[in-house]
Structure 1
Amino acid sequence: MAQQKDYYTVRYQTNIEKLRNVLNDLPPFCREFFRGIENNTSILTRVNYAYDLRLFFEFLTNEMEDFSGLKSNELTLDHLNMVGSTHIEMFLEYITFYTKTNDDTYKEYQNSECGKARKLSAIRSLFSYFFKKEKLEKNIAELVEIPKIYEKPIIRLEIDEVARLLDLVESGEGLTDVQKRYHQYTRTRDLAILTLFLGTGIRISECVGLNASDIDFDVNGFKITRKGGNEVILYFGDEVRETLLDYLEERKNVTPLPGHEDALFLSLQKRRISNRAVQNLVKKYSQYISPLKKISPHKLRSTYGTTLYRQTGDIYLVADVLGHKDVNTTKKHYAAISDEQRRKAARIVKLRDDE
């Protein structure tokens, strides 16, 4: 268990360093803001807020005449009082598409309505904090409408696609010659990872953070650290059990690098596998099974959630297993399945035989 704590501690400390670095580019009053929201937000949320606020203040000082001649880290609360709802609306329009040049590198950026809403959330949080502290005359950010986000349908694998995906990982048939050369070394590991996603609905960060010592085969369960740092036990079925045991047997022949001895899933470099590596392996296999769907680890999690809901009809169970704090989040994603089933039932029942 100590090794898992080390992993999450390292990740936490990395994000703390990121936040501190970005704070150097932000107005001094932002330090008070981030201290004030520390107990109610995760470190990842605060890091994302910092990036979004940096972009907002750069926009004000570079694009708005009212703040020209100033640098972002020179702004004061008096300047924040000068910001109007129009400034924020112009910012949201600006980030639809904008360019930046850093060290002679030209880059283009775009934001969807979802990205705009997230950035507005950071701005709203900042204004709300200082308005409650009576350091702002009014909370003008509340006057800005949140961009309307259109719900996208859940992308998931169907039952036959799941079976074909696992068959592909086992056999390697259809892979390129280059992929097959690596496949002989990673087949057992990749099968265990994909089966774990499809059989438990685990998040990618939870999967990467797993340690061998977290697994208890006596109860077919393993301990994970959820968002927010709380620890829970997830249970798995016999199919997951078999693939994990096969992988652990093969793993005995690998000597991990120092500091990675207890990491469950190892890369070919004998260190804890990374998020990017897991994303790549999911993409590699799934593109052969369902080329029109962009399948990611999160889509495999959705596949599990859909299967569990269809078989149990218990939205609260799905929310609990997936680790959703609010069951409404679960309903939003899976309620459509109930509607689909009801429509199917309506078509099945015939009141009169066709003549």
Structure 2
Amino acid sequence: MPAKPYNKQVDENNILLLRDILSELPQYATIAFRGIENTTSTRTRLGYARDIKTFYEYLCENNPFFRDKTPLDITTEDLSRLEAEDIEEFLHAMKLYTKNGRTYTNGEQALKRKLSALRVFFAYLYKNDRISSNAAEKVDMPKIHDKKIIRMEPNEVADFLDNVEYGSGLTERQKKYHEKNKVRDLALLSLMLSTGMRVSECVGIDIRDVDFDNMRIKIVRKGGKEAYVYFSDEASEALLEYLDERKKLIPEKGHEDALFLSGQLKRISVRSVENIVKKYSLTSVPLKHITPHKLRSTFGTELYRATDDIYLVADVLGHSDVNTTRKHYTDMDEDRKRRFRNEVQLREKRTIKP
């Protein structure tokens, strides 16, 4: 029996995790999450559920009205009594809090996600007449301050890939693993840098998804949509070398189709790729915090520089809204304006006679 597609395995795992969380919440929460099933991904619902559970735990621990309750005891009538201030207090507390002896912090984006979860949850309950008042809709979204986009410059990309190939700057312990994994790592990172694919899309690639005739790979985008990304000749060379090694490996059961394998001969995980990027970037680009997403930003930057086509960049990166892409590359617009400053000619150049 062939192994299940990676994205289906992820969905099934997310559903099981979601059920565990919902078992600790009242029954109406399960009904609400069933109600949003057709408009959200399993990953989104799992994130929402975690945030809702955190909110319920906060109420029971900090709100005087809920002091003697557990999350399972909170009724829809209780939710109807909440005011915007209760949710604002929760968001403020989430900026910095301690749980089980460990300190947690949440920035603007994390707080926005938590409020989004509450808004969706309360909106469903209100729309279906389970609560009489919707406090979440009265709370303003946290203002998101734009951050400087971190990306690698072309010389830094070259140093990074040299580090991947030759292991420069690695510790003696890292070098032992490097010799074993350098062909895989070079193929994986060259592919990410030449396509701009997300790390989750990369780890989900099966061998049969790679099409060398058309120099493309089939991936599954966020939301489950299939798409093709096209890789460079340089990435092709690295992939072919890795596939020669891959043929000699005997994967663990259920991981036979995976393109990239871990040291345990299982499909490589997102966390493993994050660690791989961190390892090589610490010595090659020490002044920048490079993550798999920064590889994506690096690719998008170079594609935009080469084409000046924001719509093409949005399409290749899989952004559903071009404004999302434009927001990430606004800092490059000054460079573009400068390059094209002489494109509009006011008068024909004439030779002035003495």
TM-score normalised to structure 2 length: 0.93
Partner of 2:208: 213
Identify which range, 328-337 or 135-144, moves more after superposition.
135-144
What amino acid sits opposite 2:86 in the alignment?
H
8 A contact 2:108–2:144 mirrored in 1: yes
1:163-200 CA distance string (max 9 Å, x none): 11112222222222212111111111111011001100
Structure 1 unaligned spans of 5+: 350-355
Give the aligned residue type for 2:279: K
Detail structure 1 runs of 4+ shifted over 3 Å in the superposition: 343-349
Task: Give, in whole Å, the separation in 2 of the partners of 1:340 and 1:42.
Answer: 38
| Aligned mates of 2:255, 2:118 — CA distance in 1 | 40
TM superposition score normalised by structure 1? 0.92
Tell whether 2:20 aligns with 1:21.
yes
1:253-293 Cα shifts (integer Å, max 9, x gaps): 22222222221111122221111111111111111111111
1:254 and 2:249 are equivalent in the alignment: yes
2:225 to 227, 230, 247: 230
SS at structure 2 position matched to 1:255: coil
Verify the 8 A CA contact 1:22 1:50 in the aligned structure 2: yes
Note the C-alpha offset of 1:319: 1.0
The equivalent of 1:315 in structure 2 is 310
Deviation at 1:343, TM superposition (A): 4.6
Whole-angstrom CA distance in 2 between matches of 1:340 and 1:56: 45
Q: 1:119 aligns with which of 109, 114, 117?
A: 114
**Matches of 2:23 and 2:33 in 1, distance apart?**
13
Alignment equivalent of 1:204, drawn from 199, 208, 222: 199
Task: Tell me, yes or no, if the aligned pair for 1:16 and 1:43 is still in contact at 8 Å.
Answer: yes
Cα distance in 2, alignment partners of residues 84 and 145 from structure 1? 13
| Aligned CA-pair RMSD | 2.0
Aligned length: 345
Retained in 2: the 8 A contact 1:28–1:76? no
The 5 Å alignment of 1:98-247 reads: 98-101=97-100, 106-247=101-242
- Residue 149 of structure 1 deviates from its aligned partner by 1.4
Structure 2 portions without partners, runs of 5+:
345-354
CA contact (8 A) 1:156 1:302 kept: yes
Q: How far apart are the structure 2 equivalents of 1:69 and 1:177?
A: 56
In the alignment, the residues of structure 2 paired with residue 186 and residue 244 of structure 1 have an alpha-carbon distance, to the nearest angstrom, of 13
Percent identity of the aligned residues? 50
Name the residue aligned to 1:38. Answer: 37
Query: Is 1:220–1:236's contact at 8 Å kept on the other side of the alignment?
Result: yes
Checking the alignment, whether the CA contact within 8 Å between 2:87 and 2:135 is kept in structure 1 is: no
Q: 2:173 is aligned with what amino acid? A: V
